[in-house]
Amino acid sequence: MSKEKVVLAYSGGLDTTAIIPWLKETFGYDVICCCVDCGQGEELDGLDERAKLSGASKLYIENIVDEFCDDYIMPCVKAGAVYENKYLLGTSMARPVIAKKLVEIARKEGAVAICHGATGKGNDQIRFELSIKALAPDIKIIAPWRMTDVWTMQSREDEIEYCKKHGIDLPFDTKHSYSRDRNIWHISHEGLELEDPSQEPNYDDLLVLSVTPEKAPDEPEYVTMTFEAGVPKTLNGKAMKVSDIIRELNRLGGKHGIGIIDIVENRVVGMKSRGVYETPGGTILMEAHQQLEELVLDRAVYEVKKEMGNKLAQVVYEGKWFTPLREAIQAFVDVTQQYVTGEVKFKLYKGNIIRAGETSPYSLYSESLASFTTGDLYDHHDADGFINLFGLPLKVRAMKMRELKKEETK
């Protein structure tokens, strides 16, 4: 009788390597590893050998970079979705697309379970599991770090020892470094000195994609981008797909010290955590997109869209990508993007993105209206009646308060 199969979200790191023999020993599963490439930039070479050596029967390496950029990142850029004013959702957006791929592989292999190595304290367990529940409610989910009765390893040393016992002698080190998550959009850093909010980050050790503004070039660099219906199409005159635009913006932003944030954020599980995020290209793309929107969106749409962007950030942060609410917000946002077409120019200088002009065939900016000379469309006298009506509630209330005060003093 063939064994039941489990699909393991596999990175090739120590945690997920130790999970392979553990799954076989604890549940008797046939382990199929799935490494989902969202643009980690880490070497995927040698993973096949490592997975097999660790006891996996098969390894899938799935490149989903373009799907991630087009179908997950861009809806959030169009919405202007930013969590708690700072976090550009780098990890949050990647989890649902990874989960979707894990479900696809599980279906293909006829697996009964999906296993992930996320801890019981973080947001990622929620994002993975909500996505899997929404896409495959029948598939069992295994989260070793929460199964403290059968998962007894507490440290990297324990895991290395466990691997050695099972004949897996790989060059993992025991020293604790930053806990990082990387994809094409960003890299996050947690741990070490960052666990104490009173400590300044040790940026010289920490930064991977960027330099600090102090170390950025002394000369500014101009960048021009064009958008069509909210989607970036060209960078400095060159047509590129979204993923290549993000890669090039990462290079430019990293060079000029852009998009480094230090945040104490509120996790879904109720605790605060401190992290440093590097999102050089994403920060520029969001800013350029907003720069164009200011020109073409009317005030009422802009106002509601801001609320929707905040709402989407919360939905995505909480792992609720595959929900009717996310679809509905995205549908609203897509309508607002119809005319977000045009060109934006800005310069990058020591951590700053300084706007340098924008144009759009759909611009609602009228030079004759905005200038101080009187045009046909705007009669200054009209403002009299408008202010009277606009200020009427204030005036009525003030009169009432005055009347009551008079009665009190009688």
Per the CB < 8 A criterion, the answer to whether 83 and 89 are in contact is yes
Task: Give bridge partners of residue 60 from the DSSP assignment.
Answer: 34
The span from the CA of 312 to the CA of 330, in Å, is: 8
Q: Which two tokens stand for residue 162?
A: 């466990």
Q: Which of 214, 234, 216, 217 is nearest to 225 (CA)?
A: 234
The single residue of 11, 15, 50, 182 carrying the catalytic annotation is 15
The single residue of 95, 127, 247, 274 carrying the catalytic annotation is 95
Task: Give bridge partners of residue 141 from the DSSP assignment.
Answer: 114
Per the CB < 8 A criterion, the answer to whether 185 and 90 are in contact is yes
The span from the CA of 297 to the CA of 293, in Å, is: 6
Q: How far is CA 24 from CA 27, 28, 45, in A?
A: 6, 4, 24
Q: Which of 301, 361, 355 is nearest to 333 (CA)?
A: 301
Q: How far is CA 392 from CA 159, 385, 386, in A?
A: 71, 10, 10
The span from the CA of 19 to the CA of 116, in Å, is: 9
Confirm whether 262 is a catalytic residue: no
Per the CB < 8 A criterion, the answer to whether 163 and 18 are in contact is yes
Helix axes 382-390, 392-409, angle to 10 degrees: 50
Amino acid code (one letter) for 71: D
Confirm whether 124 is a catalytic residue: yes
The single residue of 37, 54, 124, 210 carrying the catalytic annotation is 124
The single residue of 57, 71, 156, 179 carrying the catalytic annotation is 179
Q: Which two tokens stand for residue 75?
A: 């809806």
Per the CB < 8 A criterion, the answer to whether 77 and 290 are in contact is no
Confirm whether 48 is a catalytic residue: no
* Torsion, CA 295, CA 301, CA 303, CA 305, rounded to 10: -100
Kindly list the catalytic residues.
15, 95, 124, 179
